[in-house]
Structure 1
Amino acid sequence: MWKMKPSIALSVHFTVLLLTLSSRGSSPAGKETFSWVTLPATANLTWTPCFDTFQCTKLALPLQYSDPEAGEAQIALIMSPSNYSSNDPNYLGSVLFNPGGPGGSGVSFVQELGPYFRAVIGPQYDLIGFDPRGIGQSTPVLSLFKSPPEALEFYSTYPQNVNESISSFGRFYAQANILGKLAVDRYPTIAESVSTAAVATDMLNIAKALGQDKVNYWGVSYGSILGATFAAMFPDNVGRFIIDGVFNSHQWYQGDWSSSLLDTDDALTAVYDACVEAGPSLCALHDKSSDLIRARVNKLIDSLHVAPLAVYDDSDPSNISFGVADYTVIVLQIFQMLYTPFASGQVIFEALAALEQGNASAIWQGSVTMANDVDLATCNFNASQPFVVGFLDISAPIACGDIIADEDRVRTSDEAKSDYQRMADASSTFATTWYPLSEGRCAQWPIKAKDAFNGSFTQNTSTPILLITNTHDPVTPMVGALNMSSGFTGSIVLQQNSTGHTSLSGFSTCTAEAIHAYFANGTLPAVGTLCQTDTRIFENPSNSSGYTGVTITPLKRSAEDYSLGEAARALAGSNFLAKSAGFFGRRW
Structure 2
Amino acid sequence: MVFFTGYLRNLAVIAVVSSLQALADTDFQWNKLEASDKLVWTPCYSGLQCSLLQVPLDYSSATAGTASIAIARYPANCTKSEYRGPILLNDGGPGGSGVDYVVEVGASIATIIGEQFDIVGFDPRGVSYSTPTISFFRTAAERALWMPATSDIVFPALNQTADAVAQQWARAQILGQLAVNRNDGNYIQHITTDNTARDMLRITEAFGFEKVQYWGVSYGSVLGSTFAAMFPDKVGRVVVDGVMPMDTWYSANLTREAADTDKALQTFFDGCAAAGPEACAFSAPSSIEVATKLDALFAAIEVQPVPVTTPVSYGVVDYTFLRNSVFHALYSPYDSFVALAQGLADLAMGNATTLYTAEEVPPFECDYSSTTPFHENGYEALVAISCGDMAVESDTVSQLQAYYASIQAISSIADMYGNWRVVCSGWKLHREDRFKGPFRAPNTSFPLLVIGNTADPVTPIAGAKSTVDAFPGSALLTIDAPGHTSLGAPSTCFYRYLRQYFQNGTLPPQNTVCQPDGVLFPPPANATTEGVASRGLNAWGAELIEGRRTIGKAMRRAMARTLSLAP
Residue in 1 that maps onto 2:345 = 353
Q: Distance in 1 between matches of 2:48 and 2:376?
A: 27
CA distances 1:462-495 after superposition (whole Å, capped 9, x unpaired): 0000000111101000010111110101011110
Residue in 2 that maps onto 1:21 = 20
Residue in 2 that maps onto 1:100 = 92
Residue in 2 that maps onto 1:213 = 210
Q: Aligned residue pairs: how many?
A: 544
Q: Distance in 1 between matches of 2:455 and 2:524?
A: 25
CA distances 1:63-106 after superposition (whole Å, capped 9, x unpaired): 11122222211000011111124x41x22211000000011111
Residue in 1 that maps onto 2:34 = 40
Indicate which of 66, 70, 73 corresponds to 1:72: 66
Q: Distance in 1 between matches of 2:348 and 2:136?
A: 41
8 A Cα contact 2:69 2:123, kept in partner: yes
Tell me which amino acid in the other structure corresponds to 1:268. L
Tell me which amino acid in the other structure corresponds to 2:66. E
Tell me which amino acid in the other structure corresponds to 1:417. Q
Tell me which amino acid in the other structure corresponds to 2:265. L
1:321 to 1:124, Cα distance in 2 relative to 1, 3 A: closer
1:382 to 1:345, Cα distance in 2 relative to 1, 3 A: farther
In structure 2, the residue corresponding to 1:144 is in which secondary structure? coil
Give 1:109-508 correspondences, 5 Å limit.
109-156=101-148, 160-187=156-183, 189-313=186-310, 319=311, 321-367=313-359, 370-371=360-361, 374-376=362-364, 378-379=365-366, 383-387=370-374, 390-405=377-392, 409-428=393-412, 430-436=413-419, 438-449=420-431, 452-459=434-441, 460-508=443-491
8 A Cα contact 1:336 1:578, kept in partner: no
In structure 2, the residue corresponding to 1:416 is in which secondary structure? helix
1:566 maps onto 2:546 in alignment: yes
Shift of 1:576: 3.3
Shift of 1:560: 7.5
In structure 1, the residue corresponding to 2:29 is in which secondary structure? coil
Residue in 2 that maps onto 1:6 = none
Shift of 1:548: 8.2
Residue in 2 that maps onto 1:5 = none
1:387 to 1:571, Cα distance in 2 relative to 1, 3 A: closer
8 A Cα contact 2:128 2:376, kept in partner: no
Shift of 1:526: 0.8
Shift of 1:309: 1.6
C-alpha RMSD over aligned residues: 2.7
Shift of 1:411: 1.5
Q: Distance in 2 between matches of 1:506 and 1:571?
A: 12
1:12 to 1:338, Cα distance in 2 relative to 1, 3 A: same
Indicate which of 34, 56, 61 corresponds to 2:50: 56
Q: Distance in 2 between matches of 1:291 and 1:97?
A: 41
Q: Distance in 2 between matches of 1:578 and 1:547?
A: 19
User: Normalising by structure 2, what TM-score?
Assistant: 0.90
Q: Distance in 2 between matches of 1:529 and 1:222?
A: 24
Residue in 2 that maps onto 1:554 = none
Query: Which 5+ residue runs of structure 1 have no aligned equivalent?
Result: 1-9, 314-318, 550-558
1:198 to 1:254, Cα distance in 2 relative to 1, 3 A: same
CA distances 1:423-470 after superposition (whole Å, capped 9, x unpaired): 222213x2212322x222101111113551133222111000000011
8 A Cα contact 1:245 1:503, kept in partner: yes
Residue in 2 that maps onto 1:524 = 507
Q: Distance in 2 between matches of 1:543 and 1:489?
A: 44
In structure 1, the residue corresponding to 2:63 is in which secondary structure? helix
Shift of 1:162: 1.8
8 A Cα contact 1:11 1:336, kept in partner: yes
In structure 2, the residue corresponding to 1:470 is in which secondary structure? strand
Shift of 1:11: 4.0
CA distances 1:382-411 after superposition (whole Å, capped 9, x unpaired): 643334664431111111111234xxx321
1:381 to 1:219, Cα distance in 2 relative to 1, 3 A: farther
1:348 to 1:241, Cα distance in 2 relative to 1, 3 A: same
Q: Distance in 2 between matches of 1:352 and 1:198?
A: 44
Decide which moves more: 458-467 or 534-543: 534-543
In structure 2, the residue corresponding to 1:64 is in which secondary structure? coil
* Aligned sequence identity (%): 37
Residue in 1 that maps onto 2:10 = 12
Residue in 1 that maps onto 2:4 = none
Q: Distance in 1 between matches of 2:397 and 2:113?
A: 48
8 A Cα contact 2:127 2:377, kept in partner: no
Tell me which amino acid in the other structure corresponds to 2:19. T
In structure 2, the residue corresponding to 1:127 is in which secondary structure? strand
In structure 2, the residue corresponding to 1:295 is in which secondary structure? helix
Q: Distance in 2 between matches of 1:472 and 1:480?
A: 12
Query: Which 5+ residue runs of structure 2 have no aligned equivalent?
Result: 1-7, 532-538
1:271 to 1:215, Cα distance in 2 relative to 1, 3 A: same
Tell me which amino acid in the other structure corresponds to 2:301. L
Tell me which amino acid in the other structure corresponds to 1:385. T
In structure 2, the residue corresponding to 1:60 is in which secondary structure? strand
8 A Cα contact 2:127 2:378, kept in partner: no
In structure 2, the residue corresponding to 1:177 is in which secondary structure? helix
In structure 1, the residue corresponding to 2:470 is in which secondary structure? coil
Shift of 1:152: 2.7
Q: Distance in 2 between matches of 1:132 and 1:364?
A: 32
Tell me which amino acid in the other structure corresponds to 1:456. P
1:579 maps onto 2:560 in alignment: yes
1:321 to 1:581, Cα distance in 2 relative to 1, 3 A: closer
Tell me which amino acid in the other structure corresponds to 1:65. Y
Q: Distance in 1 between matches of 2:174 and 2:506?
A: 50
Decide which moves more: 154-163 or 503-512: 154-163
Give 1:540-555 correspondences, 5 Å limit.
541=524
Shift of 1:321: 4.2
